[in-house]
Structure 1
Amino acid sequence: MKKNISINLQGIIFHIEEDGYEVLGRYLAEVKAHFSGYRGHEEIVADIESRIAELFVSRLSPSKQIISLEDVEQMVAKMGRVRDFQAADEAEEDEETLASAVASGTAEGFYTGTTSSGTGSTSGRAYTSSTKNTTDPDTATAASDEPRRLTRDMANRKVAGVAAGLGRYFAVNPLWFRLAFVGLLLAGPALDDISWLEELGGKLSAFSVIAYVVLWIALPKRYDNVLSDEDPNFRKLYRDVDSGKIGGVSAGLAAYFRTDVVLIRVLFLAGLFAGGFAFLVYIILWILVPEAKTASDRLRMRGDAVTLSALDSNLRASEEGAVTPGNRPIGTFIEGAGRNLRPAVGFVGTLIRVAAGVLLVATGFGLLLAFTIALGVGLGVLPESQGFIHTGPFPPYLFTNSVPSWALLAFYAAGAIPVLAMFLLGLGLILRRPILSRIAGLSLLGLWLLSVVGASAAGVRISRDFQMEGEVTQTERFPTLTAATVLLDNRTTHNDGHKWVDLNLTEADSGQVLEVVKYLSARGVTEQEAIRTASTSIRYTARATDNATLILDDYFTFQPDARFRDQDLDVTLRLPQNKRYRLSKEFADRLDSENFSNNEKPESPETRTYEIIGSQLHCIECTSSDFASDDEQTTDEEGENDGVDVRINESEDGVHINTDTDENGNVKVNIDIPKAEFPTDFNSYGDGRRTYSFNDFRTIQANGAYRVLVRQGSEFKVEAAGEDRDLRDLQISTNGNELLIRHHERGFWSNWKGNRNPVLVRVTMPAIDKLELNGACQADVAGFNEARNLNVEQNGACAATLAVNATRLSLDLSGACQTTLRGQANDLVVDGSGACQVDALGLTARTANFDLSGASNAKARVQESLKVDLSGASEVKYAGNPSRISKDVSRGSSLVAIRE
């Protein structure tokens, strides 16, 4: 029976035999005496105590709960003794320190010992005799000659010891195998959104689970492996904040892989500029990898055994400022080059600093001056007539009447304070000293935040004035124009603060009075207020000087007390059919070729006489030679043969592109895309059939080369027909109220399959709100006679045919897409770009709005109002004789009336 003593090592209670306690106390007293001369020696001794506690914990088991003398000797053998590495003079100093500690009774007083029940005597061993080597040489030789076997390392396991066993077998940190298993397991969810990698991610996740379970079952267990922390060859990944620059990640990786830290940093920088993935990796490692806080952590980071000798060497190097030796060719080269280039880099840096300062000062001063002048004009301090600011077609007073003074001050402060900060920053760069004190900077910041709040409040208040749009029609009759031939003249009123008036021509019945119809529009809080603003804020003049001359202004202006409410004015001139008309040169210059018959303006139009037919002027005495000379006709005929004719895929789904040149030298691009015409009978497709059970969807999105047939019905029904292998690649699902039709990617090589057979998807639904087509998709929609707002989006070489009756029909088109419309719509809105085509002659629209660009073409039938914005060789052809036409047509584009 032996006496036991309870000790506390870094918060862990151990029961130790009395003879072992004496050896341990003397050992720790010698350690404390040796490291007492180092800075932060308390932390060093605490770190050593923690390491001793780890070794003691590894010696305990359910059947062994007492630390014996043999366990203490084993610990001393692993940790080493101070006498093994200290010099003679240091040993004498430590002996003196230790003797004084013994004399004062503190050599064993580091721990509080309590004697447990029982009797016994101490062994009385001297410390020097307790450090014998307990390793049997024969046993060590046998262990070294033992062949490597793949086992489950139960001594270092986290779950089943599989990753620890793999790490032990390949002499690699088990952390990497654990990360590999977890990464493969998470590959499925991570790659789920990437269609062509979706199936690969699922296979990797399954492989991770199956491989781990198979290794768990197949590999034998092993409990007697050395703990990872005790293995001298074990390296643990830490962040080396002592030699690191930012978070110590690069320095820690360099220590772990025993390479140059500069190489790791260069790799991170290269990854940062090659897509930015290195930044995410760095942040993740910064969060997950622990910091090397103690000397033991720094030893483990480099793969060194945690012994007293290693701790002493590491501390000496830190005290002397030495750098851990290693192979650093890249770092040495870069450091030498940096020292040689330091003067040149400093000079270049000075130039950049001064240039940046000058740029910031000049920019800040210019913007600050502009903001100040604008504020002065807004507050009435500076006269707007001096032309300090230019507000385009709107006079400055239009804005100053609309914005209150406090809002102007808030907007000025919100914009001027950052500009002032830019100016002061540039000045500070030039002078190499800060201009503003901390208190002044914080005061400006607070003032700026206050101004942002005020500007936001002003913006909300101003936006209320633009919520609703109102339009009013004013008709001005001219019964005094009784002459058989009327001269149409133009008065140029262009000046700052005047806005251009769109002029349209239309015919009136014979015997009626010539009329000028003005369509005035504006915005306001309510529609009534918007109508009132449009009626009272716009000034426009049309007057008859005698019985044969009508003069129209080409610009309109605003009343002096008017406020800006996005006012606009369109003018339609209604000309009786029984009169003849002549044009002044200024009025003729105001008209486009679309205002003349055959869309051709005759030479010297001011010398001709015209009659009105539809919405175009017809020259009465003109011949073909008045429009183009014989040479020009020959050139046109030759030019017809200079076009480019390209046919892509001569099949039924092919695209035909043709370019030609008009009489003005403009290149016309005609792109013929086949319409959405395909068999709707399932018997025209393969033998495969699919039926899907989906309900409560109101929108459809189709991606890929599918044919989609949509019909109205009282119930939901989704069916598909085609070849079986094509239907296996068809994926139909719902997301909320949206039905998704797309190609199911089953692997990487599925993207490289050959041409597939056509697949028909038939959808029956009570109502539809939106249809979205992407890629080479075709759709046929019919039967929806009471649709309210139907939105259609087409992207790519897709085609759609819609036969619907809708309150509002909106088309958003991009790419070489084609749309055919039939039915009726109150409002038709088309936004197209990139050679899209719209055939809406079969749909009767009350109003139509076309915004086309990029060689797009459209045909429409409009009853009342037509508005077009055309650019990039686009064209709109219209029928139906609308009473109001508003157009913004750039060079190369055209608006053409269709005669029926």
Structure 2
Amino acid sequence: MNKTVNINLANTFFHIDEVAYNKLRQYIEAVRRSFANTSGSDEIISDIETRIAELFSEKMEHDRQVITLKEVEAVIDVMGQPEDYMVDEDIFEDEPQPKRQRTQGPVKKLYRDTETKYIGGVCAGMEHYFGFDVLWIRIIFILLAVFTGFGFIAYILLWILVPEAVTTSQKLHMSGEAVNISNIEKKVREGFDDVADKVKNVDYDKMGNKIKSGSASFFDTLGSIIMFFLKVFGKFIGILLIIIGASTLIGLAVGLISAGLLDLSGFPGEEVFDLVNSTGAPIWLVSILAFFAIGIPFFFVLYLGMKILVSNLKSIGNIAKFSLLGLWLIAVITLAALSFKQATSFMHHGTTIVRETLPEITATDTLLIQINDEGYHTDNIDFNVADMRLAYDNDGKAYLYSEDVRFDIEPSKDDQAHIKISKEALGSHYNDAKNRSSNIDYNYRMDGNTLWLDGFLSTDKKNLARDQEVRIKVEVPTGTLLTVHEDADSHMGWGTQNDQNFSKYDMGGHLWKMDASGELICQDCPETVTKEEDSRHSNSIKMDADGIDIDLKGEKDSLRLKIDADGIELKASDN
């Protein structure tokens, strides 16, 4: 059972057992004596203690862990043995004579270099990390900021998330130098820039010697090449994730700001949104929920890309992560509920039917069906949404109207003419749909023998756009003569049968008679040409193994051209 001691090392508290404490204390005292007559010794010792505290923190799994002799020896192994700095060796009699081989090589990390900064030191830090000249990095950020806006956001995020190189160990990590007593001393004495260059040269010399000596095997070299390309691919993926995440966030932010401005300014588009919105949620609230539901996942995509590029990127913290997760869940659940409510508002169909008898039409009269376009306030049309248009009457009152009006002509079941008007609409339930259909305003009128059908329907704005439509059936007795005005055929349905197989667009302007079979018989259409008569006036071209036979027929004569193995024959004859 060992006694534990609480120590304060570089403003960090640690629990350490008594044996390890004595070893650590002797080590620090020995190092202190080795730099006793050195200028800047206090700063050197402070930086060494800070680095030792960092190494202890990396090895600790929890706050209550006790540092043992094993951890102290591992730290001394990294920092360097005291005999390397001409200190007393009698206090390290328990150390083995052979010098221990260091297991931890230099690791380059991304920090903000505030010593050569212009704004936040982001570009200067990236120069050390990637090895590119800082001027080009700054130019890239400026171009991205001017043309895409991404450079500005990326710089702000890096400024927030990348830590500043404050301590000596952080500055050495920034340049990829091993953080030990030797480099700390050089940093203090000679300045960071000179030390960085020397360490880089030493690293290259070591690598060159290693390759020249042939110590690295073929498989080690092959593995290094593969790892290099994997790292390059990983960096590419990181850059791609950053671009995707940042561009999506920028687009969402622009959309959110635009929606908020439109909502506050009373832009007409807000009324269009209200026409189809059954949830009652304002447009600004839906925009915010959509921003969180879509933007938070893409923020983590951006964060993941930055983690891939920057190994020591500062974490946003568990509190922020769980807060964003909770906010995302709230946004998604709320949007799902609103979407369900919106979808159910179109689930049910309601119809209101009005059937009336038309004034008696005599056998000698011809019923004329025309479309009434009067009543449109076309100069006051605002928007078209789901076949419904928002318009304003002469008094400035808003209402909805639609041109979704169709009529068909069918035989009457008695000796009188009738009109059957079906007003249809959708709703969240049957009664809701039925109520909306009954609130559709539609009119017609008889003027002598002319049936005027309104080419539009209207309804109050509060009934919203719910696929309102009107379907009309004009029922006439057998033998009734009628004409559809040429301007009205576009409002005809596809259920009207005729003996000419005309489409609805060709029925206008002709005189029709209702047959007992329910089919309209054209009274002024040209007689149908029989197949036999048509064949006499048709041209023909025949090609086979015997040759080519071309027969051109006119009204009174024909011309026949025949080409075969016997030659060319041209023959003219009367029909």
TM norm structure 2: 0.44
- Larger RCO: Structure 1 or Structure 2 (Cα < 8 Å, ≥ 6 residues apart)? 2
TM norm structure 1: 0.30
> Which of the pair is proportionally richer in strand?
1
